[in-house]
Amino acid sequence: MKGGYEHYMQKEIHEQPEAITQSMRGRVKQQKSAEGNPYLQQRIKLGGLVETRGNPYLQQRIKLGGLVETRDTIRRSRRIMFVACGTSYHAALAARQTVEEMVEVPVVLELASDLLDRCCPIFRDDTCVFVSQSGETADTLRALEYAKARGALCVGITNTVGSAISRATHCGIHQNAGYEIGVASTKAYTSQIICITMMALALAEDSISKRERRDAIIDELGALPDKMRSFMQVQDVAMKELAAQLKDSNSLLFFARGNNYATALEAALKCKEVALIHSEGILAGEMKHGPLALVDEHLPIVVVATRDSMYNKMESVIQQLLARSARLIILCTAGDATMQEYAKRSDCQLIEVPGTVEPLQPILNIVPLQLLAYHMTVLRGHNVDQPRNLAKSVTVT
């Protein structure tokens, strides 16, 4: 059942390269549009006529059967609102920037319970995307009924075919990540980021100006499972060692910014829910507005500083934390000499992950942090797959 692993959580962490492959199967084409596409060139030459709907060269790379009919409506909506709970909310947060960049429509995120508590205004020209691994979470389902009653187009992203959310939404994407048993969601999270990213790419498929960027992201989607596989075993061993050092901490902080803010929140959630360690994910841009007061030489802080558009800002965060003698663990891109130098000079530990394009980096970055939470849980002697007080699917409000 657990395929040689001791716990479902560990098995499901290791299954991620396969799970994201399944999410992309039949949906992402690695074959690039023909160079010197005459169709495209002719259209551009006609000057101003950039409407390329129906252009077979531009349409061939992402195919989401579930969104074919609603694609144009989504693109024309006034805003796109993601609604979810827990880890699924973090997946929407991780991919929000990609949707904003590709679709150029305002994107907002709502925790389902809060949307309902506030009686949040929702309109007919909104698209609401409900992200739920189980497809049965009561708050998300109630928020869906609420949005539907207000005339919004309701899209589902769920790992469970036939679930309440899959059935009640107008259209959607099944994650196809395989059944997830561990209460702490792992492979469903990375697969949700893949699905939202594919949705963003599919919605931008007619855009010539975004073509190069789309192609770059799609190329990297193809490389992602192998990149993940390449460091899984090494990180499993490394994170077990790190877990042994951190397991008795009273608290653990994760600092990040940009789309890796989701990585920080998700890592902290894993530490709370399974390792039962107090933990917080902190948007590093807010560091000076409070969290800095917590910093001392004892509190372990994981800083996410992979090579992306946030890199310089995160380096400055590292310098400010080191100036206060913080105990740092730096998650960086493999082979980053600058970060290796910080590690040597200031005795901080490094977690090295392969680099990829910015929209996909959170998918690789979370893997060692899932493993860290897993090993801390085992070492602390807690129930990995069924943490106290929690349920896989919360079907009551």
Q: What is the rounded (10 degree) CA torsion for 148, 153, 157, 158?
A: 30
260 near Na ion, rule: CB under 5 A? no
Which of 95, 171, 321, 378 forms a contact with ligand UD1 (CB under 6 A)?
Answer: 171
| Minimum distance from residue 329 beta carbon to ligand UD1 (Å) | 37
Contacts of 393 (CB under 8 A, 6+ apart): 134, 136, 137
52 near ligand UD1, rule: CB under 6 A? no
85 binds, among ligand UD1, ligand BG6, Na ion, none (CB under 5 to 8 A by kind): ligand BG6
Site for Na ion in 140-169 (CB under 5 A): 169
182 binds, among ligand UD1, Na ion, ligand BG6, none (CB under 5 to 8 A by kind): none
The answer to whether 268 and 374 have CB atoms below 8 angstroms apart is: no
Nearest residue to the partner Na ion, using Cβ: 169
Contacts of 240 (CB under 8 A, 6+ apart): 371, 375
Per-residue binder mask for Na ion (CB under 5 A), 274-313, x = binder: ----------------------------------------
Whole-number Å distance between alpha carbons of 332 and 55? 40
20 near ligand UD1, rule: CB under 6 A? no
| Minimum distance from residue 275 beta carbon to ligand BG6 (Å) | 14
- The CA-CA-CA angle for residues 205, 208, 214, to 5°, reads 55
| Minimum distance from residue 88 beta carbon to ligand UD1 (Å) | 12
Exposure string (b/e) for 114-147, b if CB count within 10 Å is 16 or more? Answer: ebbeeebebeeebbbbbbbbbbbbbbbbebbebb
| Minimum distance from residue 66 beta carbon to Na ion (Å) | 8
- C-alpha neighbours within 13 Å on the C-beta side of residue 69: 7
The answer to whether 200 and 99 have CB atoms below 8 angstroms apart is: yes
Which of 24, 80, 128, 165 forms a contact with ligand UD1 (CB under 6 A)?
Answer: 165
Site for ligand UD1 in 300-329 (CB under 6 A): none
| Minimum distance from residue 222 beta carbon to ligand UD1 (Å) | 18
Which of 49, 50, 161, 391 forms a contact with ligand UD1 (CB under 6 A)?
Answer: 161
23 near ligand UD1, rule: CB under 6 A? no
Q: Could you list the beta-strand ranges (E) of 119-193.
A: 126-132, 153-158, 171-174
| Minimum distance from residue 71 beta carbon to ligand UD1 (Å) | 11
How many residues are listed for the chain in this entry?
A: 397
Q: Any idea which residue has 């807690």 for tokens? A: 382
Axis crossing angle, helix 361-380 with helix 261-270, rounded to the nearest 10? 20
Q: How many CB atoms lie within 10 A of CB 379?
A: 15
Of 130 and 231, CB closest to Na ion: 130
Which of 23, 77, 140, 166 forms a contact with ligand UD1 (CB under 6 A)?
Answer: 166
181: left (phi over 0), alpha (psi -120 to 50) or beta: alpha
Cross-strand pairs, 80: 107, 127
Q: Kindly list the distances between the CA atom of residue 246 and the CA atoms of 266, 268, 324, 364, in Å, as whole numbers in the listed order.
A: 18, 13, 20, 22
234 binds, among Na ion, ligand BG6, ligand UD1, none (CB under 5 to 8 A by kind): none
Q: What is the rounded (10 degree) CA torsion for 244, 246, 248, 254?
A: -150
Of 81 and 314, CB closest to Na ion: 81
Of 136 and 206, CB closest to Na ion: 136
Which of 92, 173, 363, 366 forms a contact with ligand UD1 (CB under 6 A)?
Answer: 173
Of 202 and 243, CB closest to Na ion: 202
Which of 17, 86, 156, 359 forms a contact with ligand UD1 (CB under 6 A)?
Answer: 156
| Minimum distance from residue 64 beta carbon to ligand UD1 (Å) | 6
Task: Give the binding site for ligand BG6 (CB under 6 A).
Answer: 85-88, 132-134, 137, 140, 183-185, 390, 392-394
172 near ligand UD1, rule: CB under 6 A? yes
Q: Kindly list the distances between the CA atom of residue 168 and the CA atoms of 60, 130, 236, in Å, as whole numbers in the listed order.
A: 29, 10, 39
Which spans of this chain sit near ligand UD1 (rule: CB under 6 A)? 65-66, 156, 158, 161, 165-166, 169, 171-174
Which spans of this chain sit near Na ion (rule: CB under 5 A)? 169
